[in-house]
């Protein structure tokens, strides 16, 4: 075959292949798989601490709580323990009879850590 035919055949083939690929190369934006990304202390974490933790873990801890969870630095320094305890069923924080954090609150704290413990 001559060069022109070769090009046509090539174009025809690539068209075929392109069509048969069934639109895998769609350029539609994929929806954000995680709507909670960008979690920050100021926007998301502080309010959880204030409503569920600082009654004991206040700037002067009460009821035998061992530390304050009032500032960004304090919460950040304790994040691993916090994640362990809010997810613990045998030894949860807040302690009973307080109700545990909701699953979405627990997820937010974990996501905060995964996002790099941003302050704001
Ligand atoms: C009713 C009071 C009270 C509330 C509310 C409370 N805590 Fe505590 N917390 C304590 C006490 C008392 C201890 C020490 C005894 C223990 O470890 O169980 C403690 C211990 C902890 C520890 C372990 C610290 C260490 O060094 O091992 C973490 C982490 C913690 N709390 C996080 C939290 C978080 C986060 C919240 C809110 C979601 C919370 N606490 C709510 C009283 C409280």
Q: What is the pLDDT of residue 82?
A: 98
**Contact 75 CB / ligand 1 (< 6 Å):** no
Q: What is the mean predicted confidence (pLDDT) over 75-81?
A: 98
Query: Which atom in ligand 1 lies closest to the alpha carbon of residue 64?
Result: 12
pTM: 0.78
The helix/strand count (H/E) of the chain reads as 5, 0
54, 65, 109, best to mutate for ligand 1 pocket (most atoms within 8 Å of CB) = 65
Distance from the CA of 57 to the center of ligand 1, in angstroms?
7
Residue 95 lies in a domain: yes
Q: What single DSSP character describes residue 40?
A: B
pLDDT band for 71, please (50, 70, 90 cuts). very high
State the residue for tokens 């895998």. Answer: 24
Residue 85 lies in a domain: yes
Structure tokens that stand for 20 in this block:
């048969």
Residue 47 lies in a domain: yes
Residue 80 lies in a domain: yes
The Cα–Cα gap between 105 and 33 comes to 18
Q: What is the pLDDT of residue 38?
A: 87
Q: What is the mean predicted confidence (pLDDT) over 64-90?
A: 98
pLDDT band for 36, please (50, 70, 90 cuts). very low
Distance from the CA of 30 to the center of ligand 1, in angstroms?
40
Distance from the CA of 110 to the center of ligand 1, in angstroms?
17
The Cα–Cα gap between 110 and 115 comes to 9
pLDDT band for 111, please (50, 70, 90 cuts). very high
Residue 3 lies in a domain: no
Q: What is the pLDDT of residue 1?
A: 56
Residue 99 lies in a domain: yes
Structure tokens that stand for 62 in this block:
């009460």
Distance from the CA of 11 to the center of ligand 1, in angstroms?
68
Which carries the bigger pLDDT value, residue 120 or residue 8? 120
Q: Whose CA is nearest to atom 27 of ligand 1?
A: 81
Look at the chain and report how many structural domains it folds into. 1
Residue 11 lies in a domain: no
Residue 82 DSSP SS3: helix
Domain extent, residue 69, equals: 41-114
């Amino acid at each position: 075959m001559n060069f022109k035919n070769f090009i046509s055949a090539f174009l025809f083939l690539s068209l075929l292949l392109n069509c048969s690929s069934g639109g895998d190369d769609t350029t539609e934006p994929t929806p954000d798989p995680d709507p909670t990304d960008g979690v920050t202390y100021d926007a998301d974490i502080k309010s959880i601490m204030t409503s569920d933790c600082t009654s004991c873990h206040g700037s002067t801890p009460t009821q035998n709580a061992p530390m304050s969870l009032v500032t960004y630095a304090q919460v950040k320094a304790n994040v691993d323990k916090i994640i362990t305890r809010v997810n613990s069923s045998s030894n949860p924080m807040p302690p009973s009879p307080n109700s545990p954090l909701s699953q979405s609150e627990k997820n937010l704290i974990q996501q905060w850590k995964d996002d790099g413990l941003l302050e704001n």
